[in-house]
Copies of this chain bind each other. A is one copy, B any other.
């Protein structure tokens, strides 16, 4: 049993309107120190496998095919026991 933590973030060159909106809300609430804010996704997967090398490849495939839109998003992941 492995746990995968997947982080999907919007590429730096792509506008993040949700982040801009939340930053504006924080400013209006008095948190003026927030210079930028970007919002991504964080996923935790429980994998029924003990083969770490194979799991690495499988999680990468999941990200490429479904979890991330690689046109506008980057992804990274970590595996834990």
Contact = CB atoms under 8 A, between A and B. Distances in A.
Nearest to A1: B35
13 contacts: A22-B66, A29-B65, A31-B58, A31-B62, A33-B47, A33-B55, A34-B46, A36-B46, A39-B42, A40-B41, A40-B42, A41-B41, A41-B42
Given A9-B42, A34-B62, A35-B47, 16 more contacts: A7-B42, A9-B44, A22-B43, A31-B61, A31-B62, A33-B47, A33-B55, A33-B58, A35-B48, A36-B46, A37-B43, A37-B44, A37-B46, A39-B41, A40-B41, A40-B44
Interface of A: 1, 7-9, 19, 22, 25-26, 29, 31-49, 55, 58, 61-62, 65-67
